[in-house]
Amino acid sequence: MDTCITVWHLPNHERWFDEGIRHSLRGIREAGFTHVNWNPDAGYSYVYASSEMDHIAAMLDEAGLKAWSIHGSHGKNKVSEVGAPFVETRKDFLSPVEWQRLAGLDLIRNRLELAQRIGSPNVVMHVDLDEAALRDPEENAAFYALLHRSFDEIADDCGRSGVRIAVENLNAAPMERTLEMYERLFERHPAEVVGLCYDCGHAELSEPGGFRILEQFGERLISTHLHDNRSVRDDHLLPGDGNIDWDRLIDLIAATPYETPLNFETPYRTYGMGYSLGDMSFYGRAYRVISNIEKRLAERRSGGAR
């Protein structure tokens, strides 16, 4: 049975980008996992060199793990060479400033190249939704014009690489705005280019107890960020440690064409385990919980009892 979890770097390791990640990968594989979601540099504007892509591929091969997803970057983050209070925005694929938009597309292409190199079928992307701006008809139209233009221009890159963009639901905007975004995106752009990355923790914060994203757009599900929370903040807990209805969630995923494994976005630091080089116990517990979810999903799809 295939199982997947997100790999996080060890920030207290001097060489977090190789020996630290190798250590995490060993702990993940020894726990029983077969796949990982590549998360280092998620959200940041860092551009991978081809030699780094080879290095990442080699680390995964050495660990006996396969890539199932990559967390891409929309080019906006709080890490900037200029320093606080400035925010990095130089590679924003939704910027109305054309050179910044093009630079953002180049950043996505860099992640598509990494995905192709390590065998990941998708790159997960954030699309920020500004509720105040989207209430204005002219700004709403301008936003979607940029969104469609950028996805139109990246389509050939997806086709050449065989890697799709998975747009993740966020929780900063009301659920209605998220549903509107997916409706417009999926009406305009084919499944070969863009699909849904369902983050159940974000959905729980936007709509406690609700699953409208999966109910309406489950046929476009190609990636998952699964974790639990207590409906107040983005805790990223293991399934069962929060308020999410996992029976309902499994039923909904079972009804989609999604190909397993599911990916779980549950960092070791949430539990104070697996943070140091000497403690990888978190992954053992995570594997027991996650493998049970995979078994329950397989049972649902085979017609078994809940």
CA-based diameter of the chain, in Å? 57
Per the listing, tokens 């909904």 go with: 252
The two three-digit tokens of residue 244, written as one number: 């999410």
pLDDT of residue 10 exceeding 90, the answer is no
Q: Provide the residue type at 230 as one letter.
A: R
pLDDT at 250: 98
User: pLDDT tens, 20-41?
Assistant: 999 999 999 999 999 999 999 9
Q: What 8-state DSSP symbol labels residue 79?
A: -
pLDDT of residue 208 exceeding 80, the answer is yes
Burial 38-56 (b: 16+ CB within 10 A, else e): bbbbbbbbebbeeebbeeb
Cis peptide before 40 (omega within 30 of 0): no
Assess if CATH 3.30.460.20 describes domain 4-301.
no
Q: Residue 126 in 3-state DSSP?
A: strand
Nearest of 60, 73, 74 to residue 4 by alpha carbon: 60
| Integer angstrom CA distances of residue 143 from 137, 139, 147, 246, 260 | 10, 6, 6, 34, 33
Give the DSSP H or E segment for 69: strand 66-71
- Contact indicator for 224, 196 with CB cutoff of 8 Å: no
Q: Residue 217 in 3-state DSSP?
A: helix
| 122/37 Cα distance (integer angstroms) | 10
Nearest of 86, 59, 62, 88 to residue 76 by alpha carbon: 88
CB neighbour list of residue 105: distance below 8 Å, 6 or more residues apart: 93, 150, 153, 154
pLDDT at 86: 77
Mean pLDDT of the chain: 93
Nearest of 50, 120, 130, 48 to residue 96 by alpha carbon: 130
| 57/55 Cα distance (integer angstroms) | 5
The two three-digit tokens of residue 160, written as one number: 């050449």
Which pTM does this prediction carry? 0.95
- In this prediction, residues 200-207 reach a mean pLDDT of 97
pLDDT of residue 54 exceeding 70, the answer is yes
Share of the chain above pLDDT 90, in %: 82
